[in-house]
Structure 1
Amino acid sequence: MTTVVVPEWTRRRALALIERNFMIYRRSVTPLLNALVEPILYLLSIGIGVGLLVGTVPGVEVPYVVYVAPAILATTAMNTAFNQTSFGVFIRMRVEKTYEAILPTPLSVTDIAVGEVTSAMINALLTSIGFLTLMAVGGLVTSPWVLLALPASALIAYAFAAAGLAVTTYLRDFADFQYIQLVMLPMYLFATTFYPLSVYPEVVQPVIRALPLYHSIELVREPALGRLSWDLLIPVAYLVAFGSVAMYVATRRMTRAMLR
């Protein structure tokens, strides 16, 4: 497993970029509210709407909306983090040329990468807290272990924020964002967000298990349903490895692009 070790001085300098980002974000809560709109619509239309037809989920014996809600929470953390380090960073890198103004300062490319990923993690965690609050208000919380969804959301955000940063280094123009949707949307629909892994043919199940969103959903859904086991260490290890490799790739490619 490739591990990214962040020195203490890098963490301190990255705080300057995090502060810069939140000086911009604090002017409006609109981005955070917008990040909640889509998951709420999915929860209402599919979780509750389809749930009226499905009833309880076989093998889990909980109402369908209770089964779906933790998965939507995981995807909320994923989308919030990924969108910030893909579209947001692309704008700052290619359009606004923000990083060109930052590099003459003591901040390095690594500081920028760490700062952007950390900013995305904070935003994703705030959005996850908002969605978890809505779950509690809506009576969709069945176990106190659902609180583990918050550190799980932070780990999910790290993995997908790093992935978004790595993907952005390969984008040439705005049209390339369409290719991202060709990956993200099918993964969102098929990574057990709305139905159990058992509905797939056995030959397909290993493919689903290989998806990062599948492990993200498992890490949130299992504690939310009150099911804790050592098997949860598998998605933890997967997401740490996935995020670390993505962070390594992103840092190397950003350094090559910005300092050439």
Structure 2
Amino acid sequence: MAVLTAPHPAAGASAGPRMLVERNLMIYRHTWALLVAEVFEPVLYLVSIGIGIGQLVGRVPGLGGPSGADVPYSAFVAPALLATAAMNGAMNETTFNMFSKLRTNHTYDSILATPMTVRDVAFGEVLWALLRGTLVTTGFLAVVTAFGLAHSPWILLVVPGAALVGFAFAAAGLAVVTYLRSWQDFQFIQLAMLPMFLFATTFYPLGVYPRWIQVVVECLPLYQSIELIRQPALGEIGPGLLLPVVYLLLMGLIGLRVALPRMQRVLLH
């Protein structure tokens, strides 16, 4: 078990979250295969659906940047899977892993015996989840590039985009985990995540849906995440990126606003 050294009171407000990230990094030095497994899952979807079914689908019309050219189906699916990898990497950390620390291992009891505060724990876990989601996405981006699916140099914006996606979903997960009572409650998370994964234009363009379904899909956080990743990946840079950026920033800030008082009650009472 990794030892968490208490930050010195004069070390500054950022010392606590930073040291929690360092603790998690020390642990993941010995369990790095878990991160590799998270990269492997979207690779399976990319090979089986993006490339496999893509041979039957052909090209998706009107998505190739400002020119509106057709793009291969695999190039359409790959950015969506990049966004999904960032979402899953962050959510897994602040829901599954954090629930274990809260309810099973009681990890935070010993951490809070040091000068670290609940706010330090919250920000540290969100920062680590953000980093984890970005690492998973970067690994998957390397696979996408190796498959020849990087059609624009703007695809490098995937990395900061993944960090924003990770922040939004990590903060949301932090709020959600404070409401979970047992491991059985995770079925409600899957009940929300799976339909969002299937319908948020991961595999189909928005235009295939009736207009009323399009409006619903456009409100989904994964749809906004996919737009943030897919547009630069296909060479489309413009004001349209502002909406997903603002959406995800607000989602993350609201998640923190809900999570912090909830964590105070859970950890200190």
**TM-score computed with the length of structure 1 as normaliser:** 0.95
2: CA distance, partners of 1:181 / 1:80: 14
Q: Identify the match of residue 147 of structure 2 among 113, 116, 138.
A: 138
User: 2:26 corresponds to which letter in structure 1?
Assistant: M
Indicate if the aligned counterparts of 1:121 and 1:154 stay in contact, CA closer than 8 A. yes
* Residue number in structure 2 paired with 1:200: 209
2: CA distance, partners of 1:50 / 1:10: 50
**CA shift at 1:224, angstroms?**
0.3
Percentage of pairs with the same residue: 53
* Residue number in structure 1 paired with 2:255: 246
Q: How well do the aligned residues superpose, as a CA RMSD in angstroms?
A: 1.0
1: CA distance, partners of 2:79 / 2:230: 5
> In the alignment, does 2:87 pair up with 1:113?
no
2: CA distance, partners of 1:239 / 1:9: 28
Indicate if the aligned counterparts of 1:10 and 1:110 stay in contact, CA closer than 8 A. no
> In the alignment, does 2:27 pair up with 1:18?
no
* Residue number in structure 2 paired with 1:255: 264
Alignment of 1:1-260 (within 5 A): 9-60=12-63, 61-260=70-269
User: 2:217 corresponds to which letter in structure 1?
Assistant: I
2: CA distance, partners of 1:207 / 1:59: 22
Runs of 5+ unmatched residues, structure 1: 1-7
SS at match of 1:58: strand
1: CA distance, partners of 2:183 / 2:13: 31
User: 1:252 corresponds to which letter in structure 2?
Assistant: P
User: 1:164 corresponds to which letter in structure 2?
Assistant: G
1: CA distance, partners of 2:173 / 2:12: 24
User: 2:220 corresponds to which letter in structure 1?
Assistant: L
Deviating beyond 4 angstroms after TM superposition, the runs of 4 or more aligned structure 1 residues are: none
Question: For residues 87-130 of structure 1, what are the alpha-carbon distances to aligned partners after superposition, in whole Å with 9 as ceiling and x for unaligned?
Answer: 00000000000001111111100100000011111111111111
Indicate if the aligned counterparts of 1:80 and 1:120 stay in contact, CA closer than 8 A. yes
Runs of 5+ unmatched residues, structure 2: 1-10, 64-69
SS at match of 1:28: coil
* Residue number in structure 2 paired with 1:4: none
**CA shift at 1:28, angstroms?**
2.7
* Residue number in structure 2 paired with 1:5: none
2: CA distance, partners of 1:15 / 1:68: 35
**TM-score computed with the length of structure 2 as normaliser:** 0.92
Question: For residues 206-232 of structure 1, what are the alpha-carbon distances to aligned partners after superposition, in whole Å with 9 as ceiling and x for unaligned?
Answer: 110100000000000000000111110
**CA shift at 1:74, angstroms?**
0.4
1: CA distance, partners of 2:124 / 2:95: 14
Indicate if the aligned counterparts of 1:14 and 1:112 stay in contact, CA closer than 8 A. yes
* Residue number in structure 1 paired with 2:4: none
The answer to which structure, 1 or 2, has the higher relative contact order (CA under 8 A, 6+ apart) is: 1
